[in-house]
Amino acid sequence: SHDALRLRDGRLVDISTCPLGRMPGQVLLFRDVTASCAMQALLSRHQRLVTMGEMVASLAHQIRTPIASSLLYLSHLRSARMDEAARGRCLEKIRSCLAHLEGMVGDMLQFARGGQMGDEIIAVSALVNDLELLLRPQLGAHDCEFVIRDDSGGKCVYGSRDALLSVMQNLVVNALQAIAEARGKEADGPGRLELRAATRDGKTGRETVCLVLRDNGPGIPPEIQAHVFEPFYTTKSQGTGLGLAVVKAIVAAHNGAVWLDSKPGGGTTIGIELPVHHEA
Ligand SMILES: Nc1ncnc2c1ncn2[C@@H]1O[C@H](COP(=O)(O)OP(=O)(O)OP(=O)(O)O)[C@@H](O)[C@H]1O
Ligand SMILES: [Mg+2]
């Protein structure tokens, strides 16, 4: 059997006992494991920092939008002759952008410290609802049909609600851009987006929740598919190519996986799979 003992001077000693067979008594083995434990901690910290490097790139991407919006609202405040009510709404928008930023930075800090990403228990249905509220205005502007099928059956996932929302937002924005691009070339019917939430038994027997987004855009050629999750890979003149890299990093931090299924001309289906949270 194994036991660990912390000495008063801070050293960590591993104690193992071993009976002497037929003889009475037992062997006690003391091993100073201070160094190897420190090494292990250092290693896992190093791994976190590597992922953190990828996260920093994604963070820059994520904070840009709320900062740009805040600046825009600020300039409204300065220039326009606004009444008190409009001024109040503008200030509220700025406040909510800043609160969003603060939350995001908080998530990243927690991740850097080695914690999980967020510690919320999130009902998948609530996540889907929030997403719809967030996206409706955008979708309206794009004249795109948006269908939601929520078969998540009351299941929950564990992590950061804001981070998961930004994952789904990234995927929807990509789909909308793809649909808009296809329409620029040839008008082949209205845009259509379908979001499905479902549960399924994961490969290792644990139950997962899938969030699957399907679009009827132009699809992705195989040679491009191989690169879409790489940071800074983009086919758009205005893209930073961080969208899907962020998606992958956040989903990985939630112990989940991302998959992609697309054929040129056949639209794109992209899904994230997250472990179901079971109450302890
Ligand atoms: N739904 C989709 N349909 C067609 N192509 C897609 C779709 N989603 C992603 N892609 C392709 O994958 C590439 C990478 O996507 P990603 O979101 O990482 O970056 P981006 O959208 O180009 O830029 P950013 O998201 O940083 O503004 C895109 O440039 C595009 O070529
Ligand atoms: Mg994108």
Mean pLDDT over residues 72-93, rounded?
89
φ, ψ of residue 220 in degrees (nearest 5): -125, 125
CB atoms inside a 10 Å sphere around CB 215: 25
Give DSSP secondary structure letters for 84-104.
Answer: HHHHHHHHHHHHHHHHHHHHH
The band of 207, judged by pLDDT with boundaries at 50, 70 and 90, is very high
Instruction: State residue 20's pLDDT score.
Output: 82
| Cα 168 to middle of ligand 1, angstroms | 13
Instruction: Evaluate whether 36 touches 95 at the Cβ level (below 8 Å).
Output: no
- Mean pLDDT for the chain overall: 84
| Cα 147 to middle of ligand 2, angstroms | 21
Instruction: Evaluate whether 143 touches 191 at the Cβ level (below 8 Å).
Output: yes
Q: Which ligand is nearest to the CA of 239?
A: 1
Q: pLDDT tens across 22-52, in order? A: 888 888 888 888 888 887 777 777 766 666 6
Considering just the CA atoms, what is the radius of gyration of the chain in Å? 25
Instruction: State residue 214's pLDDT score.
Output: 97
Q: Which ligand is nearest to the CA of 269?
A: 1
Instruction: Evaluate whether 175 touches 215 at the Cβ level (below 8 Å).
Output: yes
Q: Which of 105-114, 160-169, 250-259 is least confident?
A: 105-114
Annotated domain spans of the chain: 2-32, 53-113, 120-275
Instruction: State residue 148's pLDDT score.
Output: 95
Strand-pair partners of 207? 201
Pick the CATH number of 120-275 from 3.40.50.11540, 3.30.565.10, 3.40.50.1100, 3.40.50.10300: 3.30.565.10
For residues 25 and 20, what is the distance between their CA atoms, to the nearest angstrom? 6
Which protein residues are within 6 Å of ligand 1, measured from CB?
A: 61, 174-175, 178, 215, 217, 220, 224, 228, 233-236, 239-245, 268
Atom of ligand 1 at shortest range from CA of 229? 18
Q: pLDDT tens across 44-65, in order? A: 777 666 666 766 766 677 788 8
Query: pLDDT: is 135 or 142 the higher one?
Result: 135
